[in-house]
Amino acid sequence: MSDRAYVIFEEQQRARGIDLDQVKAKLKAFKIETPSWGYGDSGTRFKVFKKQGVPRNPFEKFDDAAQVHRLTGICPSVAIHIPWDKVEDYGKLKSHAENLGLAIGAVNPNLFQEQEYMLGSVTNADPLIRRKATDHLLECVDIAKETGSRDLSLWFADGTNYPGQGDIRQRKAWMLEALAEMYKAMMPQMRMLIEYKFFEPAFYHTDLADWGMAYNYAVKLGPQAQVLVDTGHHAQGTNVEHIVAYLIDEHKLGGFHFNSRKYADDDLIVGSMNPYELFLIFYQILSAANDSDLSIGQTVNQIAYMIDQSHNIEAKIPAMIRSVMNVQTQYAKALLVNHSEVAEAQQRNDVLEAENAVRQAFEFDVTPLLHAVREEMGVPADPMKAYLNSGYPKSILSRGIGGASW
């Protein structure tokens, strides 16, 4: 991309009242966390496909994540999932991450893969199973202390498949009991991010089915509890950006798990099918960031942007790079919205102009802008191409087949 393309882009944006220096500063400060489980083998409930070169342990997952950060410059932290990333010594994993220029990000307890959890974890009718599940939550708080992680992201597979299978109200109380015990164990700087999902693996009822339930628990628990919006966890047609705006306004949006969503939680590359939704989510976030109430801006600044994808059929590292670039592209476009233009059109009740002022930003090609930003950050203008041309894809083949699953 030539400098000329950037000069034309800058002139065009200046004429619209957009200050590109500010836009660039925001793009440089924007960070996306990648998931350790996105580097391991994965599949569907029908088949886990084995790939050559997949990391064999958590340390190698960080090696791969470091490539994504080296080439994009915006992925300095990696979320871990316990026990998938269980190690003897978390201090060692932390130093390994730091030597690679990374930090350990959110700690995700895993309460969905042990035999005992078939009928629920923290909402199981058996008090011993509930105890075991809550102890795992507490173990994750301890791990977060060791890794220096701020966020604990919680997702529960708990739910039932048939009417009458469980006492829904009783399970609601058990959920709160477990979350409250965990909340009490957290350090003051830690956050509990509560994720919801309206189906799968339970189909009749899910104990934490939607943002309203997650929000209600977060309110009951206190200011360190917030909601995590996974973009793949809603019913078809749900207006996710509305949920985002609402939660920010209540100071309860803690973060995102980005993935695509054709039908559901599909683990496909974010932005591959509905980039406009992603753009509209960022438009809501950025318009809240402009709020005269500074506490809204504080909530926005704390939002954790995380990817939650474990690609099945495509090569892991480039798929993660593509995902990161797709998010960055939509964020860049949202930074081009002229908010006063939108506000003025809203004041005039001019529906078409208001919609136009938002959509217009989406329609710009931000390639010259992103190339300029990457150049200033000292990363390749085209991270994807740089990865494919690097020696790394070949170098990992010696790991063989049969690495870590997730």
Footprint of ligand PSV on this chain (CB under 6 A)? 37, 108, 155, 195, 197, 230, 257, 265, 308
Both structure tokens of 322:
């593509």
**Residue 257 in contact with Mn ion, rule: CB under 5 A:** yes
Count how many Cα atoms sit within 13 Å of the Cα of residue 175 in the half-sphere of its side chain. Answer: 26
| Whole-angstrom Cα Rg for the chain | 21
Q: Which residue is nearest to ligand PSV (CB)?
A: 155
Q: Is the CB of 259 or the CB of 329 nearer to Mn ion?
A: 259
Q: By three-state DSSP, how is residue 225 classified? A: strand
**Residue 191 in contact with Mn ion, rule: CB under 5 A:** no
Q: Is the CB of 41 or the CB of 230 nearer to ligand PSV?
A: 230
- CA angle at residue 107 from 106 to 111, to 5 degrees? 135
**Residue 151 in contact with Mn ion, rule: CB under 5 A:** no
CB 151 within 8 A of CB 106: yes
**Residue 60 in contact with Mn ion, rule: CB under 5 A:** no
Both structure tokens of 23:
């836009």
Partner from Mn ion, ligand PSV, none binding residue 371, C-beta < 5-8 Å depending on class: none
Q: How far is the CB of 379 from ligand PSV (least distance, A)?
A: 28
**Residue 267 in contact with Mn ion, rule: CB under 5 A:** no
Assign residue 24 a region: left if phi > 0, alpha if psi is -120 to 50, beta otherwise?
alpha
Q: Which amino acid is at 280?
A: L
CB 29 within 8 A of CB 377: no
Partner from ligand PSV, Mn ion, none binding residue 265, C-beta < 5-8 Å depending on class: ligand PSV
Q: Is the CB of 38 or the CB of 383 nearer to Mn ion?
A: 38
**Residue 230 in contact with Mn ion, rule: CB under 5 A:** yes
Site for Mn ion in 308-337 (CB under 5 A): 308
CB 138 within 8 A of CB 82: no
Q: Which stretch binds Mn ion (CB under 5 A): 139-147, 224-232, 284-292, 392-400?
A: 224-232
Q: How far is the CB of 219 from ligand PSV (least distance, A)?
A: 21
Q: Which amino acid is at 342?
A: V
Both structure tokens of 269:
């590359």
Q: Is the CB of 288 or the CB of 307 nearer to ligand PSV?
A: 307
Sequence-distant (6+) residues with CB within 8 A of 159 are 120, 201, 202, 203, 204, 205, 206, 207, 209
**Residue 382 in contact with Mn ion, rule: CB under 5 A:** no
Sequence-distant (6+) residues with CB within 8 A of 405 are 40, 41, 42, 48
Q: How far is the CB of 227 from Mn ion (least distance, A)?
A: 12
Distance CA 63, CA 102 (A): 10
Q: By three-state DSSP, how is residue 272 classified? A: coil
Q: Is the CB of 90 or the CB of 196 nearer to Mn ion?
A: 196
Distance CA 351, CA 331 (A): 24
Q: Is the CB of 54 or the CB of 342 nearer to ligand PSV?
A: 54
Distance CA 267, CA 333 (A): 24
Q: Is the CB of 63 or the CB of 308 nearer to Mn ion?
A: 308
**Residue 261 in contact with Mn ion, rule: CB under 5 A:** no
* Total site size for Mn ion, rule CB under 5 A: 3
Q: How far is the CB of 38 from Mn ion (least distance, A)?
A: 11
Distance CA 373, CA 21 (A): 10
Q: How far is the CB of 40 from ligand PSV (least distance, A)?
A: 11
**Residue 81 in contact with Mn ion, rule: CB under 5 A:** no
Q: How far is the CB of 257 from Mn ion (least distance, A)?
A: 3
Q: Is the CB of 19 or the CB of 200 nearer to Mn ion?
A: 200
Q: Is the CB of 257 or the CB of 374 nearer to Mn ion?
A: 257
Residues that bind Mn ion (CB under 5 A): 230, 257, 308
